[in-house]
Structure 1
Amino acid sequence: MNPCLNTSGGIPESKRASELSKLLGIQISPLQVVQGHSPFKDFVNRFENELVVAVGKGEPAVVMSEYGFKKVISIDKYSSYFEAIDPLAQYKNWEINKINDSKSSEELPAGCNVLSDRVKGVFVVSDPIDWGRDIQVLCDILFTGGLPGSEKGQQPPIYFANDDFEYQGIFPSERFGMGAFRLTLECIFNRMKNNNLKYTCFGKPNPFVFKTAEGILKHLMSNISYHNQMSGEQKNITHSFNTLYMIGDNPSVDIQGARKAGHPWFSILTRTGVFKGNGNHPHFPADLVVDTVEDAIDFILKKENS
C-alpha cells in the first residue's frame, strides 16, 4: 500500500502502476505512485487551456495530457514547426531516425496554432535527450515571452520535476541529471539576459514530495477504513503513522529530503548507487545504512513484525 516515489522517465502514473503490478505480482493503483512530475497536476487550473511545452524523454506530453492539460505539446513536436530553429538538426541522424519517428504520431492539440500562439508555461517532465537543441529552443521561448522568432517579452514560467544534479546509471561513474540541465540552461540564460532565470523545482529533496506521499497514504487508509465499515468489518485503523520509510541511494536527494520532511520519516541509505562509502554520509547521514535494497526491506519487515 506504500506509495512509490520515483523521478520517473516521463511515464504516466497509470503506466508505471501497470509495470509495477507485473513486476511485483500485486495490484498497484496509479494513486499509489508518486513521481517527480506528479505535482504538475496542481497546475491544471492555471494552464488547462493554455499552450504549454513538455520537455524530456519518454512521453512528456502524454503525462501532462493525463493530468488534464488540453493544449500541451512535446518540445520535439514543437521544434519541428520552426524551420532551422536547431541549426545542427541536419547533422543529427540519430534524431531523425529515432526521435522524430517516435513523435510523428503526436497530434497537435485542437485549436492550437504553434506559429502564432504564445507558450504560457514550460514543464520539464523528465531528463531531456538533446540538451543542445532543447536549451536553444527553451531560450527562444523564454526570451520572447513564448513565441520563438518574435521580439523579446516577459519570461513564461518554467517548472522542473526534480533537481537531481547526478544519478547512478549503468555506467560506473555518476551521470548528469535534470539539475545539471537546469544549471546549464540557467547559466546561458543569465549570460544573455539582464534578468536571472525564474524557475521552480519539485522532486526530492523538496519536503513537499514526502508530505504528498504521506497525504496519499492517509487517503488510502481512509478508503480502507470506509470499505471495512461498509462490509461490516470492525478494524481499528489509524490515519497517522509512527514510521514511514525512505529507501534511497543518493544522500543529497533521498536522505536530505527525508531529513527535511522530519517525523514520521525514517531514512535508509543503500550502497547501490551514488553512495558507495563506508559508514554513513558525513553531510546527510541516514537513520540506517545498508548494502542493498533487500537489506533495507529485511530490516523494515523485522522491525514492523517484532
Structure 2
Amino acid sequence: MARRNYGVLVVSDPAEANPSPKLPSTFCHFRADLDGIHHDKAATSLTNSGIPNFAFAFDIDGVLLRESAPLPGATTALSYLQSEKIPFILLTNGGGRTEAARIADVAKKLGLSGLDESLLVQSHTPFRELSQLYDKTVLVVGGERDNCQKVAESYGFKHAVTPGDLIVAYPEIWPFNRPFQEYYKSFARPLPTPLYSPTGNPILEEGKSLKIDAVFVYNDPRDWGLDASVMLDCLLSERGFLGTVSGKNGNEKLTNRGYLQDGQPKVWFSNPDLWWAAGYHLSRLGQGGFQAAFRGLWDTVSNGAELGAQTETIGKPSQGTYEYAERQLLRVRRGMFGSKVSGLRDPLKRVYMVGDNPESDIAGANNYRSPYSSEWRSILVKTGVWREGTKPTHKPYIVQNNVLDAVRWAVEDAKANGATL
C-alpha cells in the first residue's frame, strides 16, 4: 500500500506555546475503486493516488483573526494544510469587499502566501450565481462607501445603485442625513433614471422612473436609518418604483391584506449573524441585528403583514450557502490535484467545519445535508463569540482551544477513521 507523509505540525511562535501532542509523522492513505461510490458514505479517509478525501472549512473572525491580529495557531494551522496538500476553504459571514481584496488582506495579516480568492466564500459570494438579475436594476445595501456596489459589479450586475446614490440625488429622502452628506458625496454616483414624483416626474414607466428589481444587503449597514427607510420604500412601492406607494397595501380583500402583492422586489440578506467578535471585549451586533430591526419596522408599518418569501437569507447556517461552499471546496480540490481527481463527482468523506459561533458555524455544519453524501463535523473553538462556561445553543461535535488544536484533532480523527501509520 502506498504511503503519504503528513509531516509534523511545528509550533513557531510564542502564542502557540504548550501545544497538544504532535500529529503523527506519517499515515497511510487508502485506495478505493471509485466505481459506484461517488456518493458512498462509506468512502475511506484518503482516495486514489494519495489524494485526501477529507477537507476543512474555517471561519475567519474569531477563528483565524480577531480584528487585524492573527489568533494563536492560525498561521501554523493553515501553512501545515498547504504543505501537506489538504484542501481547505475560508467560509465567512463577513464581506463588504471583493474576494480578491479580502483574501489578500487575510494572507497579509497571517503572513501566508499561496492564498487566492478561490479559497474564500464570503457571505455574499453566492449572489454571483443570480445571473438572471445581471441586467436588472438592483439596490445594494451595506458596507463602507461604494465597496459593495463594486463587488456587485464584479459579479456581473450591470445596474447597481446604493442608498448613498439616492440620498445625494434626493436629500429629502432621509431628512436626518446632514451629518453624513459629505461622506455620501465622496462616492455617490448619478442615478440611471430619476425617481418618480407626482409633480416632478409623474411617469410610471421603466426607463423613465427608477425601478428596483431586487434588494441585496451585502454587508452590515452603516446607516441603519437611511438603509431601512429605502428598503421599506421598495417593499411598500408599486412594482418597485421608488417614490410610489402601492394602492393594494392594506386591502383586506387581498392576500396578506394587499401587502407585497404588487410586484415589489425581493430582499436578499447575506448574513444572519446577530453577534460577531470585533475588537471590543463584548460581541457586537451584526447584520442579523439589522435584519431583526428591519423586520420589526415592517411588522409595525404593515400592521403584521407577512414578509414570507419576499425575503431570503443566505450565509451560514443556511443550506444553500453550505452547498455553495462544498461545490467550491471540490473545485479547489480538483485544482490542487488536476486529472487525478474527478472533481465534483469524486467523494469527500468528511469536512471539518472550524468556527467560533454556535448559531452559524456549528448549526450550519450540524444541519447541512450534503448532496455529495459527505459528513460535516463541527469544531467549536474558544477564541471568538462563544464563551467557555456557557452552553452552546448548538452542540458541536467537539470543542477545541483554538484553530491549531482543531486541525490537530481533525487529522487524528481522519486517521482513526481509516488511516494507519
TM-score, reference length from structure 2: 0.63
In structure 2, relative to structure 1, the CA distance for the partners of 1:264 and 1:100 (3 Å cut) is farther
Matched residue count: 290
Q: Secondary structure in 1 aligned to 2:172?
A: coil
Greater mean deviation of Cα atoms: 220-229 or 68-77: 220-229
CA contact (8 A) 2:142 2:219 kept: yes
Q: Which residue in 2 is equivalent to 1:163?
A: 272
CA contact under 8 A between 2:362 and 2:395: conserved in structure 1? yes
The amino acid across from 2:377 in the alignment is: F
Deviations 1:129-160 (A, max 9, x none): 01111111111122113233223254210000
Distance 1:151 1:214, change over 3 A: closer
Question: How far apart in 1 are the matches of 2:273 and 2:100?
Answer: 24
Supply the distance in 2 between the matched residues of 1:279 and 1:177 (Cα, whole angstroms).
21
Moved over 4 A (4+): 301-306
Partner of 1:300: 410
In structure 1, how many angstroms separate the alpha carbons of the residues matched to 2:409 and 2:313? Answer: 33
Q: 1:275 to 1:80 in 2, by over 3 A?
A: same
Task: Report the CA distance between 1:190 and its aligned residue.
Answer: 2.4
1:78 aligns with 2:166: yes
Counterpart for residue 36 of structure 1:
123
> Are 2:181 and 1:96 aligned?
yes
Give me the whole-angstrom Cα distance separating, in 2, the residues matched to 1:186 and 1:278. Answer: 32
Q: Is the Cα contact below 8 Å between 2:171 and 2:177 reproduced in 1?
A: no
Q: Which amino acid letter does the alignment assign opposite residue 44 of structure 1?
A: S
In 2, the alpha carbon distance for the partners of 1:117 and 1:177 equals 30
Mapped to 2, the partners of 1:51 and 1:279 lie a distance apart of 45
- Return the alpha-carbon distance in structure 2 between the equivalents of residues 199 and 170 of structure 1: 31
Q: For residue 96 of structure 1, what is the amino acid of its counterpart?
A: Q
Structure with greater helix percent: 1
Deviation at 1:212, TM superposition (A): 1.7
Matched letter for residue 334 of structure 2: S
The higher relative CO (CA closer than 8 Å, separation ≥ 6) is in: 2
Q: Which runs of 5+ in 1 are unaligned?
A: 230-234
The residue aligned with 2:193 is 113
Q: Which residue in 2 is equivalent to 1:275?
A: 386
1:183-233 deviation digits (Å, cap 9, x = unpaired) = 21112122222532221000111122222221112223333443569xxxx
Q: 2 CA distance for matches of 1:150 and 1:99?
A: 24
**Is the deviation greater in 14-23 or in 264-273?**
14-23
| Matching of residues 143-162 of structure 1 within 5 Å | 143-144=236-237, 145-152=239-246, 153-162=262-271
**Amino acid in structure 2 at the alignment position of 1:139:** L
CA distance in 1, matches of 2:316, 2:404: 22
Q: Tell whether the 8 Å contact from 2:212 to 2:242 is kept in structure 1 after alignment.
A: no
Classify the secondary structure of the residue corresponding to 2:140: strand
Which SS does the other structure have where 1:210 is aligned? Answer: helix
Q: Does 1:245 align with 2:325?
A: no
What is the percentage of aligned positions where both structures have the same residue? 26
Q: Matched residues in 2 for 1:207 and 1:294: separation?
A: 27
Does the 8 A contact of 1:79 with 1:137 survive in 2? no
State which drifts further: 193-202 or 54-63: 193-202
1:254-293 maps to which residues of 2 (within 5 A)? 254-262=361-369, 263-278=374-389, 281=392, 283-293=393-403
TM-superposition CA deviations, 1:88-147 (whole Å, max 9, x none):
112x2xx2344542x24xx447xx214212111100000000111111111112211323
Match of 2:229?
136
CA distance in 1, matches of 2:88, 2:333: 10
Q: How does 1:18-57 map to 2 (within 5 A)?
A: 18-22=104-108, 23-45=110-132, 47-57=133-143
Aligned to 1:84, what secondary structure does the other structure show?
A: helix
Q: Secondary structure at the match of 2:334?
A: helix
- SS of the aligned residue for 1:294 comes to helix
Q: Determine the C-alpha separation between the residues in 2 that align with 1:178 and 1:24.
A: 29
Deviations 1:23-70 (A, max 9, x none): 34222232221111111112122x111110111113111111111000
1:214 paired to 2:326? yes
Q: SS of 2:169's equivalent?
A: coil
Q: Which of 291, 310, 330 is the equivalent residue of 1:182?
A: 291
Partner of 1:232: none
CA contact (8 A) 1:78 1:114 kept: no
Code of the residue aligned with 1:184 in structure 2: it is: A
1:135 counterpart letter in structure 2: A
**CA RMSD in angstroms, aligned pairs only:** 2.5
Q: Distance in 2 between matches of 1:21 and 1:149?
A: 45
Whether the aligned pair in 1 keeps the contact of 2:315 and 2:321 (CA below 8 Å) is yes
- Cα distance change of structure 1 residues 207 and 24 upon mapping to structure 2, 3 Å threshold: farther
Report the alpha carbon displacement of residue 172 of structure 1 after superposing the two structures with TM. 2.2
Larger Rg: 2
Alignment of 1:119-130 (within 5 A): 119-130=212-223
> Under a length normalisation based on structure 1, what TM-score does the superposition of the two structures give?
0.85
- Structure 1 distance, partners of 2:138, 2:390, is 46
